[in-house]
Chains A and B, each alone.
Chain A
Amino acid sequence: MQKIGVFVCWCGSNIAGTVDVEAVAEALKSVPGVVYSVSYQYMCSAAGQKLITDAINEYKLDGIVVASCSPRMHENTFRKTAEAAGLNPYMVEIANIREQCSWIHKDKEEGTKKAIVLAKAAVAKLKNDKPLKAGTSQVTKRALVIGGGIAGIQTALDVADAGYEVDIVEQRPTIGGRMAQLDKTFPTLDCSACILTPKMVEASQNEKINIISYAKVEKVSGFVGSFKATIRKKARFVDETKCTGCSLCMQKCPSKKGKDEFNMNMNNRPAIYIPFAQAIPNVAVIDPEQCIKLKTGKCGLCEKVCAAGAINYKMEDELIEREYGAIVVATGFKPIDPSPLNEYGYAENADVVTSLELERLMNAAGPTKGTLLRPSDGKHPHEIVFIQCVGSRCDENTERGKPYCSKICCMYTAKHAMLIRDKYPDTNVHVFYIDVRTPGKNFDEFYRRAVEQYGVDYIKGMVGKVAKEGDKLMVRGSDLINNQQVEIAADLVVLATAIEPDPSARSIGTMLTASMDTNDFFTEAHAKLRPVESPTAGIFLSGVAQGPKDVPETVAQASAAASKVIGLLAKDHLVTNPCVAESNELMCNGCSQCEKVCPYGAITYIEKEVRGPGVREVRRIAQVNPAVCQGCGACTVACPSGAMDLKGFSNKQIMAEVDQICL
């Protein structure tokens, strides 16, 4: 006869407030099989756990039910406690009487009745529990980082530093990501390339890091410790091993109409190009849309000119298939397109630019070679207006933009304003803001210097309309402090647009079954306690893929993700989930209905001699590979005879729970 112990938690007043915990403990005493039933203030505390271990030893319990908070919170805690006391950790059941009972029912009497039923259901489930032993699965000692921006690079460097192989898959021809496009960085104003390129070089020189550029991940299968990823390396038409990056071909290439994505399409580039000087790998790439040779078969100048003979027009996409133990998502972000917000006239006026476009205009390697000129007529702008929160902080049900604050715009606008005022003292800078958010170290001091030392005019109010008049841009906005409407004839208008996840994020999210929120940012396992892990085991989040953040935070999170990866790869084998499917060979028909619905291909078939009461014959029976099975249970329903059952959530257990609940 089973000896079950029931422990009802008060959770301070969280449960005891609206559930009579004493009555629950009392009611459970009369349930057949329960030999010990008690309630205590904090079951998850050390004292609470000691109560459990003592009870197990004293009453020789062979199963415990803890009526407390959600199993997603403390199931592991109580399993470890039971294991420490010598009880099989899977003979522990949790009744969720906090999130799903005490917190949502005001009436104490009703809450108590429900808590009793939930506890009895847990006892009924426990009675059908069987001791389970966690299996093990091997760990491939290699990590995959999707995205080669600062986040991906930092994570890769840290993981490689710990001695593990890392593959970085970058969709653009070069790593460096968004940060490579920046001119200076706040709050220290050091040049973005100067702090990024050493990291890029370090990544390329580290023999543990393998950079797969101009490639994207196509398919991911498997699970933590043994993922299998298929990577499509797009054809560069340039042999990476031969090209020396001399850029002779770029000068000779006759097709000059390609839009330079790196410079935000503000100038043109040849069909064969290297995105920017410090690109890693410093190898040219041919844009198939622009290259005359690839489109019409004529030309081929770059091949003639190339001393290293690196050009190869016949190159095909290459599919690489590799095993990984862990995957880090570092897909980064892109600014939103402000054209739908037509009051700013972004689409109509070339002189209305986004902040990232301004970064390129001020950058020495930018389209204007570092001098700030108006994109329309190339004149020097004397009046510049910055507009904050363009497309950020909008109400969800108005399709006007993103509901969240993009976090970095206040700081980089202060940076831009300061740099412009410093380089061109005769230019007036106005900034329309709702509130300036400077939440980091030396951030507010930085903003005050922009206002006090460099005389940037901050106007508390918003711009209603930007209209072109003559060669000027009439910016009309409100100045709430002076309670007046202001009209500024600006030469250049800069929009601090909201940022959104990289378009590739959604497809990668589905591939990894990593859950994403409605704004396509990756959802973290726990908002406060596990910010760098995805709920899917083995998937980690680094950088803006998880939410808006600036460079310092991105690097911090990248290293955090790296430490999680190192923690995982350091293990020789992983403890696998024992609640996996199992087939009863006596009843299996071998009809392979279960194999069709298994998402992981964990089921194979063998011819085996089956011995049972009155039966001895060779039959085709299903076999589940416990390392691959993740315990979803799809096969148990596809199996008509009930031969396939799921350990930990067996048919009998769930039916026992249903019976108790419907009593």
Chain B
Amino acid sequence: MNNRVKTLTETALLISGVNPKKCMKCGKCSGTCPSYDKMEYHPHQFVSMVEKGQIEKLMNSASIYYCLSCMACVERCPRGVEPGKLVEAVRLMKIRQQDANHKNGNDIARIADENVPQQLLMAAMRKYRK
């Protein structure tokens, strides 16, 4: 792993406080994930991908946004690995990249359809402005 990937992995682990080594690959998190089918990469894969350093692939995939943070996986993981927090950390790293995927205020109106709740827009705006 070159050091760029290494730093990404470390920041992910630092933010989430998760130790991927504890995972015994039992697959329970994926078993309980309600939005499993829509995801390209599944919760048990988040853990092994972060551990193997394939952070970029994970950050660029849309599946990290299908996680509803229901934390069922964190609740039920027998090894206490907390994959939910890991995907939360990856999303945060994505946001922190700011300029790469920054959207300014007026594009929002174009892509948001009418039944998106107003509050969600405001939350997104606040997040992206950082």
Contact = CB atoms under 8 A, between A and B. Distances in A.
A and B touch in the complex (CB under 8 A): yes
Interface of A: 343, 389, 393-395, 397-398, 400-401, 432, 434, 460-465, 476-480, 483, 485
Given A389-B78, A401-B78, A465 B31 contact: yes
Contact of A460 (B27, B28, B36): B27
B42 to A, nearest CB: 7
Given A343-B76, A462-B31, 5 more contacts: A343-B32, A389-B78, A460-B27, A476-B31, A478-B36
Interface string B92-127: 000000000000000000000000000000000000
| B27, B36, B72 pick with most chain A CB within 10 angstroms | B27
A434 B25 contact: yes
B30 A480 contact: yes
B80 A462 contact: no
Contacts of A485: 30-31, 33, 36-37, 42
B80 A395 contact: yes
Interface string B1-41: 00000000000000000000010111111111100110000
B52 interface: no
Given A395-B79, A398-B78, A480-B44, A462 B37 contact: no
B79 A464 contact: no
A478 B28 CA distance: 7
Given A395-B79, A477-B31, A478-B30, A464 B22 contact: no
A434 B24 contact: yes
B20 to A, nearest CB: 13
A303 to B, nearest CB: 53
27 contacts: A343-B76, A393-B24, A393-B26, A394-B78, A395-B22, A395-B78, A398-B79, A398-B80, A400-B78, A400-B80, A434-B24, A462-B26, A462-B27, A462-B28, A463-B28, A464-B30, A464-B32, A476-B31, A476-B32, A477-B27, A477-B28, A478-B36, A478-B44, A479-B27, A485-B31, A485-B33, A485-B37
Contacts of B32: 343, 464-465, 476
Nearest to B73: A464
Contacts of A395: 22, 78-80
Nearest to B28: A462
Main secondary structure of the interface of B (DSSP, over half): loop
A464 B44 contact: no
A397 B31 contact: no
Contacts of A462: 26-28, 31
A480 B80 contact: no
A461 B42 CA distance: 13
Contacts of A479: 27
A394 B31 contact: no
B21 to A, nearest CB: 12
Given A398-B80, A400-B78, A480 B25 contact: yes
Contacts of A480: 25, 27, 30, 44
Contacts of B26: 389, 393, 434, 461-462
Contacts of B31: 432, 461-465, 476-478, 485
Contacts of B80: 395, 397-398, 400
Interface in B42-65: 42, 44
Contacts of B24: 393, 434
Contacts of B33: 464, 485
Contacts of B25: 434, 480
